[in-house]
A = this chain, B = another copy of it.
Amino acid sequence: MYQRKIPIDYNCGLSVAMEVMGSKWKFCLLDEIAKGTQRPRDLVKAINGITKRVLQKQLGELEVHGMVGKTIYKETPVRVEYYLTASGKSLLPLIAALDKWGLDFAPRLESILATEMQAL
């Protein structure tokens, strides 16, 4: 049975948003699918550092939460294509904003981390 230590607070948007998107790969994943990468094997190649197992798990969660859907082509070997649902697409502006923020902040972060490493 579905269990959570801390129940979701449906009156708190951040609580809901974190339930759905609170894993570090999910923004990347939706972004990549939106860009047209639809097949699992291509997603593994496209997203630096993700493994098959983790990808599979997060795609499954995104599917349960209604952010993505998939089409199965019964060829051999089988082909599967993921796509964004309407809910998933509604996150795209947010993802774009996050991406933009990250790009703006990148130089500062780089210098911060350089200093950190120097200190050690």
Interface residue ranges, A against B (CB under 8 Å) = 1-2, 5-6, 8-22, 24, 27-28, 31, 48-49, 64-66, 87, 90-91, 93-95, 97-110, 112-113, 116-117, 120
Given contacts A15-B48, A16-B103, could you give 15 more A-B pairs where the C-beta distance is less than 8 Å? A2-B120, A8-B109, A10-B107, A12-B99, A12-B102, A13-B104, A14-B95, A16-B102, A17-B99, A18-B28, A19-B109, A64-B112, A64-B116, A66-B112, A93-B97
Provide the bound-state CA to CA distance between A109 and B101, in Å. Answer: 27
* Nearest-Cβ distance from residue A58 to partner chain B, whole angstroms: 13
Query: Which of chain B's residues have a CB closer than 8 A to the CB of A98?
Result: 13-14, 17, 21, 94
Are B10 and A110 closer than 8 Å at their CB atoms?
Answer: yes
